[in-house]
Amino acid sequence: MGNDFVNDVFNGVARRVNAYVEHSVFTTTVGQAILTELIEQLQDIDWDTEYESLEEFKDVPYIVQAFADCEVALENEEDETGKDPNEEYEEEK
């Protein structure tokens, strides 16, 4: 199955879920749970372009968290501390 097709499937579902969240049909918690499950299922069939979909939804916090729950994050994404989680830091002595 082509990864463009898988991206199209995810992006279509994510857009619909986000519309439901924006119209208060779903909470962000429900939306995140749905998308986390979808991401996991797509990864099981070897979805390896999930970063492209994450990039499309990078401004929607609960969708970004759904990806993070599945160990997918954008390069150079900083956490709450302002540190890049992709870099290793030495402990200060």
For 20-60, give the DSSP string.
HHHTTSS-HHHHHHHHHHHHHHHHHTT---HHHHHHHTTT-
Structure token pair of residue 87 = 């870099």
Has residue 83 got a pLDDT over 70? Answer: no
* Residue 71: DSSP 8-state: T
Q: Are 18 and 38 in contact (CB under 8 A)?
A: no
Q: Are 39 and 70 in contact (CB under 8 A)?
A: yes
User: Confidence band (pLDDT; 50, 70, 90) for 81?
Assistant: very low
State pTM to two decimals: 0.77
Tens digits of per-residue pLDDT, 12-51?
999 999 999 999 999 999 999 999 999 999 999 999 899 9
- Cα separation, 19 vs 62, whole angstroms: 13
In the chain, what are the domain boundaries? 3-69
What number is the average pLDDT over the span 6-10? 94
Has residue 80 got a pLDDT over 60? Answer: no
**Residue-level pLDDT at 78:** 52
